[in-house]
Every structure is written in C-alpha cells, then in structure tokens.
Chains A and B, each alone.
Chain A
C-alpha cells in the first residue's frame, strides 16, 4: 500500500502535563481506509496522543491536520463536529443515562431523526445485546457490554475517523475476538481507524500499518506484518 491519502496527519506533536513531557515530538498519519495501530508500553503516551487529537489537551507545539485542514487548537466539541470520534480509555459511559440515551448523545451532532434511527438500527444488528439493554441505565452493564456501548456510541456520530483507546482492555479472549471483528467490519464499511492497543498481537494482526511509541517518541513503524516479524518487537511486545 502506498500511503498517499492521509485522513489525519500528526506533525512533531509535543504535549506536556506541567513539567512532565508526555509526547516529545511525534509524527504519524492515518490514510484513507486504513486501520493504523499505535502500540506501546504503559505510559508511552498513547492516550495522550488521542486526547490531544480530540482537543481535550492542548499541544505545546506541532500540528494536527484532518482532511487537509489544521485542527490543532480547535475546542473538543468542534473537532467532533468535523467527523472524528473517540472511544476513550476505560469506556467512560454516561452511567446515569440509559443505553438509549448514551447512543442518542453519540448522535448529538446529527439533527435528522430518521438518520439517527437508521444508524441505531444498523448498530443494533452488530450489537444485539445493546438492543436488549435499551432502556437500562448504562451503569448496570457488564464490562464487555460497556465496551460495545462505547464503540456503538462513537459510531452514532457516523465518523470518518474512529479512534479507539484499548478496546480489548479487561475483556475475555472470546469477547476480544468479537470486538476486533467488529472493528474490522467498521473499517470495511469505509471508516478509517486509529487503534491504540496493549494487545500488540491482536493489533498487529488486523492493522494495515503500525507505529511503536516509547516514552513519547515514535521509535518504529511499518506494516503490521513487518512489525510482527521484527525481533525487537517480538521480544518487547509479543512476549518473545
């Protein structure tokens, strides 16, 4: 694949929390139709990267370009409006809202109720369990159901770029497979995906391209297959 049509491009991004410099100038891109994985150990700066793209954090320097427009200093709600959805680490459901209301909030920016209904019906086909829990408070769902809700909520916005922060965290192996199949499906339907994962095995097996993050720097990149076979990656992230 010749990666020439970037959906989003990150250039020399640095981000700090007070004195701690979490990102020390990272650059990467996600091209049209790709699944791009961002892997790295705890504290490497993966979530920081996604939060900065979403406008929840302000970068110290660098540039973020989405569909050829700079979005670097836009407030969070305007970035969502442009077509970027973010499934945050830890799912972060609105526990005090029902499953339906959570999904409705996902579609906050969509004004046409027909579109919302159609999207919801399509989502219920991928996540039948959410349909059964329709009017239940989200706070009562199981961990797996919450992850599905978080993904479904992001899809309600019909994003062109979907960012997922550790969707496999805390799920049983069967559920991990199910979630990854759904991610693949979403991608095949035309959504570009930026996937942050601890589970490097899984991430490298479904992604088109991957970047390895170490203490706020991109230290390696390549196709999923290249990195999978790289001895250093094998040792550090795939358990030898």
Chain B
C-alpha cells in the first residue's frame, strides 16, 4: 500500500507538469480550433531558458521561472503572429501542417551549436534534494515545489479566465468571434493573449520538468507534448478544467503503469488512452459537443 501511495505522489508530480502543457493546447484549440503542435517545443524552450537563467545568470529560482515564462510568452505570440495568423481563414489542414513545420523548426534550430546545442544537459537544482518521510511514504522538496508552483499557476489562470475582463473576452471570442467584435473586442489581441498565457504555462512546465527529471535536450518536448495533448483530448479539448483533470489522470496512469506493469509499456498505454477516448467518447470527459452555429 505504501508503494501505491508513493506512486500516486510521483504520478501527481508528473500530472501537474502535463497539466501546465495541456492547458496551452486546450486554450489555443478553444479559441482558434488549432492543435498547436509546436506547443511541446515551447515547453522545451522554457526548460532551456530556465536552465540559462539558473546557470548563466545565477538568478534565484522564482526569477528563473518568470524569465522562462516571459520568454515563452514572447515566443508563443510571435509564432501565432507570423505562422498562424496569416492562415486564420485558410483550411484547417494548412494551419495544422504549419504547426508541424514550426515544431520541427524549433527542434532543429535549437539543436544548432550556436543555439542550445544537440547535447543532453544536466539541469541544475536550485536547492539540494531533501526527502521527507511521512509514515511509510516519501516526498521530496522537489515534488512539493513542482506541485505547489503548478497549483498556484493553475489558480492564477482560473482567476484570469473566470474573473477578469480579458478572461471573459477570451471565452466570448472562443464562442463567437464576430459577435465579440461587435462588443468592441479586438479579436486578434485576445488570441495573442491566449497564445501568450498558454505558452507561459508551458514555459513554467519546462522549468519544473527540468528540475524534476533533471536532464534536457532539444527534442525533450515531443513526448510530454504528445502526452499533454492526449490529456487535453481525454479531458475534452477546449475545456480548461478538462485539461487539468485529463493531465492528472495521464500522469497517474503512466506512473502506475511503469510501477506495476512495465516502464517500457507506459507510452503505449498513454496513447492507447487516446485511441480509447476517440472511440468511446470523442468529446472527452468534460468536453461539450460542438454546437453548430448558424
């Protein structure tokens, strides 16, 4: 039983990192109906920005994470502005292919020697690892940090989306862009903000991931990106609470699978979830059927 709870804690840690990524997928999809396949790579860039902030500039951890978030915000907004916006009214498949192109570009450009370089790098930890024993279960300060920071960011996001004028406008634009324009809402601006917020969360996720699983490389975004995408679909793509729930489930399922079945099977398991969701309930756990607007 202790082993089970131990795995549950590990699963939660992974789940919260997935949540930070999955939210970007779901928010962007909600507002422009685009699967932003470059999102996992923004997560990777976030991890590197955090890395440089910690090693090169010796920033304290909270500043390092803010630095990564700011950098990713800028990156996300730039990608939207130059890669996706010109295709806003093009067939969806064009934007999707462009997203894959942006993803490959970020991965291979980052691999260049004068950018991040192709090698694995060991991630610095802002403090030494310390493990607390609670009963028979161990929990590390790293785990507390990852979960704590994620929860704070998720609460801030929830506040922005539910309570602020910009958050309301994000929801209004995702529902009906033309009517939103009639209210004087600058739809392009709101879409930029959405990309910015989603990317900031992914950037924070990258730093936390680096600290929790301390190794980074330019292709590190692919797997967590895909898993977070599955999580977003599982929760119901377009739904913010759905993405959080889906991600936590994914993190726990994956960890349990490694622990009880086989660690080589865990990716197969994760994607089996995608297939099952698509077959059984394509709208996901909390997703709504798209209402056709006349």
Contact = CB atoms under 8 A, between A and B. Distances in A.
Interface residues of A, number: 27
B55 interface: no
A76 B171 CA distance: 18
Contacts of B169: 105, 108
A92 B187 contact: no
A93 to B, nearest CB: 8
Interface string A73-100: 0011110110001101010101111000
Nearest to B184: A80
Interface in B265-294: 291, 294
Given A90-B294, A104-B168, A108-B165, A95 B182 contact: no
Nearest to A156: B183
Given A105-B168, A108-B165, A97 B175 contact: yes
B171 A96 contact: yes
A78 B172 CA distance: 17
A86 B178 CA distance: 11
A109 interface: yes
Nearest to B186: A77
Contacts, number: 70
Contacts of A54: 181-182
Interface in B137-192: 165, 168-169, 171-172, 174-176, 178-187
B178 A105 contact: no
Given A90-B294, A104-B165, A108-B165, A97 B171 contact: yes
B187 A77 contact: yes
Contact of A56 (B165, B178, B184): B178
A157 interface: yes
A104 B180 CA distance: 12
Contacts of B187: 77
A86 to B, nearest CB: 5
Contact of A92 (B174, B176, B184, B186): B176
A108 B171 contact: no
A88 to B, nearest CB: 6
A86 B182 CA distance: 6
Contacts of A105: 168-169, 172, 180, 183, 185
Contact of A88 (B171, B174, B175, B182): B182
A78 B174 CA distance: 20
Interface of A: 54-56, 75-78, 80-81, 85-86, 88, 90, 92, 94-97, 101, 104-106, 108-109, 153-154, 157
Given A80-B182, A105-B169, 5 more contacts: A77-B186, A78-B184, A97-B175, A104-B165, A105-B168
